[in-house]
Each structure stands twice: as C-alpha cells, then as structure tokens.
Amino acid sequence: MTISLTALEIRALLLDIEGTTTPVEFVYQVLFPYARAHAAEYLARNQDSAECREAVARLRSEQTEEGTLEYVFSLMDRDKKSPGLKALQGLIWRDGYKSGELRGQVYPDVLPAFERWRARGREVFIYSSGSVLAQQLLFASTNAGDLTPFLGGYFDTAVGPKVSADSYRVIAQRVHVPPAQILFVSDVGQELDAARTSGMRTALCVRGRGELPPGSAVHPTIRTFDEIVD
C-alpha cells in the first residue's frame, strides 16, 4: 500500500535496519560471521585499549562463570542482544570497515528515499539493536555511498528495548518531535506494536515476503520505501 507522509503530518521517520534498510543476509551471513572470526584476535591485540576494556567490562558484568571469549561465542550462538556483545561487535566491525573487508549494504530504494524525504525537510533517524557505532559504520560505507549526511541521529537499546513503548517515547523526546508526527518502519510486529502504543505512526516492511507476517492486519504494510510518498 501507499503511505502519505503529508496526509499523516509526518515530520520524522524512524527506521529499523535489518530487513528494513538492509538485507537480513548481510547481517547474518557477513557481519556476524566476521565478528566471530575476528573476536579472539581483536581481544588479544586490543587488551590495553580503553574501548576494548570497557566492552570486556560490560561482558564480565553480565556473567561470572565463563571466560570472556567463551561467553562472547555463547551469546552469538544464542543471538542475544547483550550490550557488551554489541559494543564488542561494533569495535571489531570498525576494523573491518577501515580495512575495506566490510562494506555496508542497503536496498536500492534507500538512497532515493533518503534524498526525497530530506528534500522535503523531514528528518530521518535509525533505531536498531546494534550499537550506535555499528549503525554509523554501516551507513558511512554502503554500496550506495556515504548515507550519514541524510541521518539526523542513531539510537540503540541504551534507550530501552525495542519492544517497549517507553523506548519510543524517549526517542520522540530526544528528537523533539511529537510521537504522532513520527513514522516508525520495521519488519518486526512487536516493535511496531510498542511504537504504536507510544503514539507513533507505524509501517510494517515486508520486503520480498510471499505471505504477510503477524502484524500486517494492524500496521500498514510496504514492500519498498517507494511506497512511502510525500
């Protein structure tokens, strides 16, 4: 379907990453394996780095039984949204982007949409379970170029869980836009439910899916950003 930003009086868009701006495959088949393959080497090489020590301290505060590397692998195996793991992954990925081994990926319609929305004075923000650093790195080096000039800010789970309405209220306060004038786009129904409870407008992103997932009966659905029009 088509969503009119003007009709809804939308002033800002809040976007998820995985499955919304970026293919899920890039996250699970490129980023996660890269972090796993380089974790041991990164920890050994950067043990005196303040950033690395802080990430390790976060990990150790979460558990006391396993060694750091074993715990990291355990979290990865269970796909846990650990703040310590997300911090460490961001640092590892930074090295990968810097070396050129990693390059961010976005869907083809993302850049034109960013250009269109910003040209009309609408702000664009990102909210992902990945760290703010990881988000910045991805959008700074995409297959469509550096997209960070289009983005007004980034939010991770430091503001709260993505399935909590309070998290979206905090974001609305921080971007100084009333919830009712923010459109949140995600491929996860529970996240959209929370955002809607906060007062935000919502859109369920169903890129390439044959059958519509849970939430499609409640939230307007889009298959590309081309369907979010002025």
Place of tokens 């992902």: 128
DSSP letter at 91 equals H
Place of tokens 């996240």: 191
Q: Do 111 and 95 have their domain in common?
A: no
Residue 215 scores a pLDDT above 70: no
Q: Do 113 and 154 have their domain in common?
A: yes
Q: Do 128 and 40 have their domain in common?
A: no
Looking at 63, 84, 99, the residue that finishes a domain is 99
Q: Do 30 and 92 have their domain in common?
A: yes
- pLDDT one-digit tens code per residue, 163-182: 999 999 999 999 999 999 99
Average pLDDT, stretch 124-144? 96
Flag the least confident range among 49-63, 103-117, 121-135. Answer: 49-63
Residue 116 scores a pLDDT above 60: yes
Closest CA to 83 of 109, 57, 115: 57
Q: For the chain, how many helices (H) and strands (E)? A: 10, 8
Q: Do 93 and 108 have their domain in common?
A: no
Closest CA to 185 of 10, 55, 38: 10
3-class secondary structure, 222: strand
Distance of CA 164 to the CA centre of its chain: 16
Average pLDDT, stretch 190-208? 95
Flag the least confident range among 7-21, 150-164, 206-220. Answer: 206-220
Q: Do 122 and 75 have their domain in common?
A: no
The one-letter code for the residue type at 92 is I
Looking at 99, 125, 141, the residue that finishes a domain is 99
- Backbone conformation region of residue 2, classed left if phi is above 0, alpha if psi is from -120 to 50, else beta: beta
Q: Do 171 and 75 have their domain in common?
A: no
Q: Do 89 and 137 have their domain in common?
A: no
Closest CA to 89 of 126, 36, 44: 36
Q: Do 95 and 110 have their domain in common?
A: no
Q: Do 113 and 175 have their domain in common?
A: yes
What CATH number corresponds to the domain at position 130? 3.40.50.1000
Residue 118 scores a pLDDT above 90: yes
Q: Do 119 and 91 have their domain in common?
A: no
* 190 band by pLDDT with thresholds 50, 70 and 90: very high
Looking at 99, 116, 147, the residue that finishes a domain is 99
Residue 1 scores a pLDDT above 90: no
CB 73 within 8 A of CB 63: no
* 209 band by pLDDT with thresholds 50, 70 and 90: low
Domain membership of residue 177 as a residue range: 3-22+104-229
| Res 42: pLDDT | 96
Q: Do 82 and 135 have their domain in common?
A: no
Place of tokens 């923000």: 125
One DSSP character per residue, 50-106 reads: HHHHHHHHHHHHH-SSS-HHHHHHHHHHHT---HHHHHHHHHHHHHHHHHTS--B--
Residue 112 scores a pLDDT above 60: yes
CB 215 within 8 A of CB 192: yes
Which of 46-55, 60-69, 145-154: highest mean pLDDT?
Answer: 145-154
Question: How many domains is the chain partitioned into structurally?
Answer: 2
